[in-house]
Amino acid sequence: MNHFRQIRQKLSAYGLDAMLLTGEANRFYASGFHSTGTDGVALVTEAGAYYYTDARYIEAAMRQVQGAEIHETGRGRGYSVLLQEAVDKHGIRRMGFEEAYMTVADCEAYRSKLSCELIPASALLTELRRVKDEEELSAMIGAQRIAEKAFQDILKEIRVGVSEREIAARLQYLMLHYGAENMSFDPIVVAGANGSVPHGVPGERAIQAGEFVTMDFGCIYHGYCSDMTRTVAVGYATEEMQHIYQVVLQAQLAGIAAARAGVTGEAVDGAARAVIASAGYGHAFTHSFGHGVGVEIHESPNASPAVQEPLPAGAVISAEPGIYLPGKLGIRIEDVIVLEEGGCRNLTRAPKELIIL
């Protein structure tokens, strides 16, 4: 799976002769080959694509990268030298670069060594990555199924006395065991009053009876992320806990019902936010309804009050309202959905009814 052709087709619309990809996420999106950090460069021109890397990755790149010329860097033949050869060969005058990823130092270095103009063009990749194709969706569904298997297993291990950190570590092991390449992010596992911190860090605190445990986790499969959150109760749940849980669940369902291609992120967020506000907890919903998911765990587009442009068909976003009461509890329920004409498709199958362990 690569997207060299799609990038090439967008060059003229952005007034470019070529697109330089140095950021890890966009480099993978273009080539389908993963190397860490700055250990690789891709170049897409009107005539073809190039992938450059060093001796540590060259053999793997030769096996995996399709649809591009592959060149190895070496002493005296660094990325800038190889790129200049392509500039001369194709008469490149305007080369796009990822200003959202590239450091100022790297940008200045390339500008001093290349005989073409470097044009900020992160928007080209942002536009493409907003819409997932079937191969991308297949990878994301695979990642989601792995996370769901881990969730079913972890339910058997959550009990009084187990620490947040133990659950987080076990979730990571289970996802790797079921085929994950890596984690989408460090799992969030927070219990009791710690749950009021949406992105709390798992600690040594032992879970007590009558507490919620919120688990936000996901994994990477074929280069794409999954993301899900489930909140469960241990021992028992008070009437107040059950009531607030149902408010969050109804808010999530309302947002999902409003989500479809052509509506704004503001509208999707607003549908969920109205349910929480009408229940008297508007102040306690402190983040947006959802964010884009794909090669990165947070990418465009977002379902938030700030997004007033229509969301495109094929966009994959999280659906994750929450209520957070400092010093008391937190609840979040998260699925991942793909927007379609007239509605959306939920990629998440894990149950959402309140589970009391």
70-105 confidence digits (pLDDT tens): 999 999 999 999 999 999 999 999 999 999 999 999
What pLDDT digit, counting tens, does each position of 201-227 carry? 999 999 999 999 999 999 999 999 999
Domains in the chain: boundaries: 4-129, 134-346
**Res 318 pLDDT > 90:** yes
Query: What type of residue sits at position 221?
Result: Y
- DSSP for 154-219 reads HTTT--TT-BHHHHHHHHHHHHHHTT-SEESSPPEEEEGGGGGSTTPPP-SPBP-TTEEEEEEE-E
pLDDT band for 37, please (50, 70, 90 cuts): confident
pLDDT in tens, 237-277: 999 999 999 999 999 999 999 999 999 999 999 999 999 99
Confidence of residue 176 (pLDDT cuts 50, 70, 90): very high
Q: What is the pTM of this model?
A: 0.95
Q: CATH assignment of 4-129?
A: 3.40.350.10
- Measured between alpha carbons, how far is 71 from 186 in angstroms, rounded to an integer? 34
b/e burial code for range 126-137 (CB count within 10 A of at least 16 → b): bebbbbbeeebb
Fold classified for 134-346? Creatine Amidinohydrolase (3.90.230)
- Confidence at 38, pLDDT banded by 50, 70, 90: confident
